[in-house]
Structure 1
Amino acid sequence: MARPQRLYCYDDNSLTEFRNFIYIVEPAKLVHRAYDFIVVTLDGATLKTETGQDLVRILGETACQHDTKVILGSVSVGILSWFLNFSGLRSDQVINGLFTVVAFPTTATPIVESSKDDSAIERITEADQAYCDRFRYGMLVDDGAPAVADAFAELYNASGKSRCVIRTVQGLQLFINPIFVALLAFDLLQWPKMKDLDTQGEVWKLATKGRQEVQKLRVHGEPGQQAASILTGTGLAEMHYQAEDVLPFDYQFFNRYHHGEKVNAQDVKHLQEYAFDSAKPSNSQCLM
């Protein structure tokens, strides 16, 4: 980070340089700076560690002083309420967000070698980070605090390089929460190519039923009930066919690296939390 970072983009096989940035390794120094936005990128489990909690308190102090807007990109059951409690921020300062731009360090050699294009591999090896932004939008945010969502989306979209889309709070929850069911099914099936997926097999049938159960949680409301009523095994598979549409980036291989190894335990915990939450007499807690 002491020099400009070289970024490789799978979308157009380009290599660019990211410069003129400041990085801070001592969170306490954040308090002395004013920011329009703070985007939290830590996963939910890391955020809830002792170190993560200290960071959240510092972020809260910083944002309170300067009325900074916060986009919380961490996924966990009840994470927004938890974050507001630890940070001391107002609910009209913080919204949930989801990153759909896929990025990874080029030191992740297996992902680099999975690329199906020699020119891509050559350029990736020259970069520090590689990314793919080919899914119609690079970020989703909810409208829990409309002023925050509108301001952030306007800034993000002004880049002309990627898109930020605003969804309802319920809509974003319904988009994110059921995802982990299929990811764990893929892990059980050892991450097959989509063309080789057996949608009539027992594992995929179980995944389809599991996704329906998550969709029908009370927090997802009527839209969740409707989505569950029309879901089929084939339909669930079609949601993941994008993995075949972004070559030379091997999206399924990335998922195997990320969800099959790095955050697999967290994915399992998410589903356990959903099950615990659904067993409550009143399932009104925000799953995000």
Structure 2
Amino acid sequence: MSSPSALVVGAGAVGMSLGYHLGLAGADITFLVRAGRTDAFAAPRQLYDYNDNTLKTFDGYEVVEDTAPLDGRTFAFVVITLDGHTSRTAQGAATLRAIGDLVHDTDAVVLMDGIGVDLRRHYLDALRIPGDRLLLGFLGMLAHQADANLPVPPGADAAAIAAADVCYVHPPTKVGFTVVRSDQAAAKSFALLYDRSGVSRVSFLPAKPADVLSNAVFAVYAACDVAGWPPIADVIADKPLWTLACRAQAEIMALPRNGLLGKVAALFMRPRVTAAIHRKQEKDMRPLDTAAFNRFHHGGKVRRQGMDVLRDSVTEGQRQGRPMTALRTLLTRAESLPAADQTPPE
């Protein structure tokens, strides 16, 4: 039996760590990268695992710069690691259309890693595939480029990190990837492959809770940005800022598109509950410094994705007669800040 093939669009930290674990699961991996970047991502690559302080060698994969060499090939899965903002740029949209040309007459399941208001519709329009073949999926581990200048955690191997290309950490549950189960059969088929890695596994999230939560979390990231990306305990300790963030979060959750579940979530996700969730994530991702990671990632690398979500949520709410007072106030404060890092996505 031949190995299943997976096309990963983007070979940054997300794409490389995902591709590595799919490779462990027995998949044949091909990366599609920007023009001129083939040599930069040529095999082998070194990945540092914070959980066991070891370097992992990832090789045996292919790197291409456009879809032409892939014509006629069949992929079981395509994972697109473009963030929500990049997906809507001219280059991002062109990439999506090229992927659509490649797979729309096949049975390939596509997983989108970006977040954005109505981003799924944008993907479906560009890819021209049925909705049951498009899933939202995102890393359950945290991964970053080794040259991101994050602090070396106590007990970590500084020399190994210096030799690595990408670093990653799993939570105690070993969830490496989360799939939104908008189509149960497609989600299960991806999990059956990924879980064969033996060291990382897929978790599932129902579609409606994913819709409610995925956009709202950016209110918390905006508050962290305003605070200067300290440990989450310091953000929570700033009562006026934390209250503002949680009110903004509730305004996003309670938008009519989210229905009754959104209203319930807005009532449930009060400051204390929200604080407990983010404290737990910070604890689960040790030894990685989650605040430093978020500063690099959400404060810089994909900051425009988060800002787009907040702006689009304000626009949607006001169009429906909602003042969105807390979100507008938080957004104004966040928009006045410079990005921590402007590294373009791969």
Once the two structures are superposed, the pairs formed by residues 36-115 of structure 1 within 5 Å of their partners are 36-108=76-148, 110-111=149-150, 114-115=151-152
Structure 2 unpaired stretches of 5+: 1-40, 323-346
The equivalent of 2:291 in structure 1 is 252
Q: Which of 156, 161, 169 is the equivalent residue of 2:194? A: 156
- Structure-2 separation of matches of 1:119 and 1:229: 41
The equivalent of 2:180 in structure 1 is 142
- 1:84–1:90 contact (8 Å) kept in structure 2: yes
The equivalent of 1:131 in structure 2 is 168
Q: CA deviation at 1:190?
A: 1.0
Q: Percent identity?
A: 28
Single out whichever of 67-76 and 256-265 deviates more from structure 2.
256-265
Structure 1 unpaired stretches of 5+: 284-288
Pick closer, same or farther for the CA change 1:228–1:199 going to 2, 3 Å: farther
- Structure-2 separation of matches of 1:87 and 1:199: 45
Matched, 1:269 2:308: yes
- Structure-2 separation of matches of 1:158 and 1:38: 18
Instruction: State the TM-score, normalizing by the size of structure 1.
Output: 0.90
Q: CA deviation at 1:258?
A: 1.3
- Structure-2 separation of matches of 1:145 and 1:27: 27
- Structure-2 separation of matches of 1:282 and 1:27: 45
Q: CA deviation at 1:142?
A: 1.8
Q: Deviations over 1:51-108 (max 9, x none)?
A: 2122111111211232211111111111111111111111121111122221112121
Letter matched to residue 39 of structure 1: V
Report the 3-state secondary structure (helix = DSSP H, G, I; strand = E; otherwise coil) of the residue aligned with 1:17.
strand
The equivalent of 1:243 in structure 2 is 282
The equivalent of 1:286 in structure 2 is none
- 1:56–1:86 contact (8 Å) kept in structure 2: yes
Pick closer, same or farther for the CA change 1:282–1:57 going to 2, 3 Å: farther
- Structure-2 separation of matches of 1:95 and 1:148: 8
Q: CA deviation at 1:281?
A: 4.3
- Structure-1 separation of matches of 2:265 and 2:198: 33
The equivalent of 2:159 in structure 1 is 122
The equivalent of 1:33 in structure 2 is 73
Single out whichever of 37-46 and 190-199 deviates more from structure 2.
190-199
Instruction: State the TM-score, normalizing by the size of structure 2.
Output: 0.76
The equivalent of 1:24 in structure 2 is 64
- Structure-1 separation of matches of 2:218 and 2:285: 21
Q: CA deviation at 1:219?
A: 2.7
- Structure-2 separation of matches of 1:40 and 1:17: 23
Letter matched to residue 127 of structure 1: A
Single out whichever of 153-162 and 219-228 deviates more from structure 2.
219-228
Letter matched to residue 252 of structure 1: A
Matched residue count: 280
Q: Deviations over 1:5-24 (max 9, x none)?
A: 11101111121111111111
